[in-house]
Amino acid sequence: MVGAYTGYLFYHVVKSTVREIASRANLPTTVPYIDLALPLAALPLTGDGSVPLTLPIRGGETGATGVTGVPLPNYEQKERVNILLLGTDKRPDEAIARTDTMILVTVDPNTKTAGMLSIPRDLWVSVPGYYEDRINKAFFLGQQDKYPGGGPALAMKTIQYNLGVPIHFYVKVDFSGFEQIVDTLGGIDIYIPETIDDPTYPDNNYGYEPFYIEAGQHTLNGHDALRYARTRHTPGSDFSRARRQQQVLLAIRDKALQLGMIPKIPELWNNMSGTVETDLQLVDIVELAQLADEIDTASIKSVVIDHTLTVDYIADTGAQVLLPLRDKIKVVIDDMFAKTEPPQGPTQAEIEAAQQAQAEARAQQIAEQAKRQEEIRAFLTRENARLVVQNGTNVSGLATQTADYLRQQGFNILQFGPADTPTYTESVIVVYNESKVYTLQVLAALFEVSEENVRRSPNLKSDVDFRVIVGGNFELPTPASLTTQP
C-alpha cells in the first residue's frame, strides 16, 4: 500500500537540498504564481503543467492518537510510522475471518529507511483482555465481540503488546482487494526462483484450483499474484510464503514508482475505498507517497519471524503452534524499529541561504512567466484571428465577461452574445480558418475543449476565424484564482 501511492509534495523549482533546509526551518516550500492574465495550464508552450499536491499536517502537534492509544506520527518532526498490513482469508459464506497474513511495515523519514516484518499466523501470544492463542485469532475475536475498533484494533494492540512496537495505522485487504490493486497497476513483475506446482491450491468453494508456474521472470495479473503469494506448496511452507508476500509487496511498490502514481492518488483513494479498509487518511497517504519514492530498495529491510526466532509447541488444545523466542525477536525489533533522532535545526546562515534561494527562484519564475506571456501575445497579434464569443450557459453576462477577458489577453473579438441554446455542458470551438493554428491551440487549452468539440465549418469564406461557444465546464479566471494556484 505504501508503494501503491507514490509521488512528491514539493514544487520542483527549488532544489531538493534547499527544499530540505526550508522545510526544517518552517519556510514556505512552494513558489506562488503571480497575477498573470493566462493560467499556465492554458499555455501551449514549454513546461509540463504539473501541479504539486499539498495537504495540511496531521498528527504530532495536534495531539491525535490512533486506536492503540499511541500518538500519531508528526511528519514535520520526521517521526517513524508503523503500519500493520492485514490480509484476511474470508470466503463468501463466512461472516468473520482470521488474518491469513500479518506484515508490520515501518518507515523512518529521518534515515530514509523502511522495513517489513512478517508475523506467522501460528505465533502463540497473549491477546490483551482475553487469553493465549494464535496471533491471527485476535482479529477474529475483535470482529466477533465488537471490540472497540473491531478486529483491526485488537490485532494492532496484540502485536503492540507482544512485540513492544507502537502501531499507528492499519490496512486490511481481502482477496478481491489485493487482486484489484495489482490489476490497477497493470500487473507486477516477479522473478520466481523455483517452479511451483500446487495441485491442491484452494478455491473459494472449499475445492481446488491447481496452480503451476515455472521458474523465471513473469508478469503476474492480480489473480496469479494472489496465488503466488498464498500457495504453501513450497519448501518452508508458511515461512517461504511470508517471504514471497514481501517480494510481492516490493514488486507492487516498484511498479507504482515506475508508473508515477502521484496524479492518481485521489482517484485511487476513491476507487479502493470499497475493497481496502484503513484508518489512514488522505494526508497520511500523500506523506507516505513522498517517502516511498525517496527510499531506495536497498534501504528496505525484510525479516520473517521464522524457525530461527520460534520453537514448535503443542498447546493444551492439541494445536501445533510457534512459541516466540522473545530474546531473539527483541534483537530484530531493536534493529528494525530503533528510534532515530530528527536532524538538528538549520543554522541562521542556512535559513538565510534558503530564503535567498527561494527569492531567486521566485524572481526567475516571474521573469519566465512574463516572457512566456509576451510570447503568447506576440503570436496572437501575428495571427490576428477574429473571434465571436457566445454564451452557451444560463450564466447571465458570461459572454460579455469572457469577451472582455479575452480582449485583455490580446484576442481580436468581433462580437459576442448568446448561443443557439443555453444547454452546452462543454465548450465548443467552431473553426472557419484552419491556418491560424496557434490561436486555436491557446483557445482549446484555455477553454479545455476536447478534440471532438473542435468542429470545422464548411463556410470557408466567413468573416470570422473562430466561434467560441462557452460551456458549463468553463470557469472564468479571476486575479484571485490566478494568484492562489499552487
Could you report the per-residue pLDDT of 344-372, keeping only the tens digit for each? 667 788 788 888 888 888 888 888 888 88
Q: For the residues 7-35, what does the mean pLDDT come to?
A: 36
Of 293, 319, 336, the last residue of a domain is 336
The residues pairing with 456 across neighbouring beta strands, listed in sequence order, are: 431
Q: Are residues 465 and 384 in the same domain?
A: yes
Domain identity same for 382 and 441? yes
User: Number of structural domains, the chain?
Assistant: 2
CA-based Rg of the chain, rounded to a whole angstrom? 29
**Is residue 74 domain-shared with residue 184, that is, in the same domain?**
yes
410 shares a domain with 263? no
Q: Which residues contact 453 (CB under 8 A, 6 or more apart)?
A: 426, 427, 428, 429
- Provide the greatest CA pair distance for the chain: 95
DSSP one-letter code for 31: -
- Amino acid type, 484: T
HSE-up (13 A, CA, CB side) for residue 177: 22
Angle at the Cα of 85 from the Cα atoms of 79 and 88, rounded to 5 degrees: 165
**Rounded CA gap, 328 and 308, in Å?**
8
Sign of CA dihedral 314, 90, 256, 282: negative
Secondary structure (3-state) at 79: coil
- State the average pLDDT for the chain: 80
328 and 373 belong to one structural domain = no
What lies within 8 Å, CB to CB, of 278 at 6+ separation is 1, 169, 170, 171, 172
Give the CA dihedral 135, 138, 141, 147, nearest 10 degrees: 170
Question: Please, which pLDDT band fits residue 305 given cuts at 50, 70 and 90?
Answer: very high
Residue 479's pLDDT band, with cuts at 50, 70 and 90, is low
pLDDT above 60 (res 152): yes
Q: What grid cell was written down for 353?
A: 541561504
Whether residue 102 has pLDDT greater than 90: yes
Distance CA 9, CA 16 (A): 11
Cβ atoms within 10 Å of 109's Cβ, excluding its own: 23
Q: Which of 158, 163, 97, 104 is nearest to 132 (CA)?
A: 158
Burial class (CB in 10 A: 0-12, 13-18, 19+), 413: middle
In a domain, 43, yes or no: no
Residue 73 sits in a domain of what CATH number?
3.40.630.190
Question: Which cell numbers in the block locate residue 124?
Answer: 502463540
Whether residues 293 and 386 fall in one domain: no
pLDDT at 400: 94
3-state secondary structure 398-433: HHHHHHHHHHHCCCEEEEEEECCCCCCCCCEEEECC
Name the more confident of 456 and 58: 456
Same domain, 100 and 197: yes
pLDDT digits (tens, 9 = 90+) for 317-340: 888 999 999 999 999 999 999 877
The pLDDT of residue 266 is 66
Q: What is the rounded average pLDDT of the residues 164-172?
A: 93
Q: Count of CB atoms within 10 A of residue 202's CB?
A: 17
| Co-location of 299 and 393 in the same domain | no
Dump pLDDT digits (tens) for 183-207.
888 899 999 999 999 898 888 777 8
In a domain, 437, yes or no: yes
Q: Are residues 328 and 376 in the same domain?
A: no
CA distance 263 to 6: 9
In this structure, are residues 305 and 119 in contact, taking their beta carbons and an 8 Å threshold? yes
Residue 65 confidence (pLDDT)? 83
Structural domain ending residue among the three candidates 289, 317, 336: 336
Question: What would the DSSP string read from start to end of 183-202?
Answer: HHTT-EEEEESS-EEETT-B
With residues binned 3-state (H G I as helix, E B as strand, rest as coil), the percentages for the chain, rounded to 5, are 40, 20, 40
Rounded CA gap, 479 and 475, in Å?
13
Do the bridges between strand 132-134 and strand 169-173 make them parallel or antiparallel, or are there none, so unpaired?
Answer: unpaired
Res 2 pLDDT > 50:
no
pLDDT at residue number 368 = 85
- The 3-state DSSP class for residue 285 equals helix
Q: Which of the four pLDDT bands, split at 50, 70 and 90, describes residue 283? A: confident
As given in the structure block, the three cell numbers for residue 198 are 500446487
Q: What is the span of the domain harbouring residue 397? A: 367-483
Neighbours of 412 (CB within 10 A): 16
Asked whether the beta carbons of 413 and 461 are under 8 A apart, the reply is no
Same structural domain, 217 and 76: yes
Q: Do 329 and 377 reside in the same domain of the chain?
A: no
Contact 187, 221 (CB under 8 A): yes
Q: Strand, coil or helix: what is 440? A: helix
Q: Which residue has the higher pLDDT, 51 or 463?
A: 463
Is pLDDT of 484 > 80?
Answer: no
Q: Mind listing the pLDDT tens digit for each residue in 22-76?
A: 444 444 433 333 233 333 333 333 333 333 333 334 444 456 788 888 888 887 7
Picking from 250-259, 265-274, 405-414, which range would have the lowest pLDDT averaged per residue? 265-274
* Spatial distance between the Cα atoms of 346 and 332, rounded to a whole number of angstroms: 33
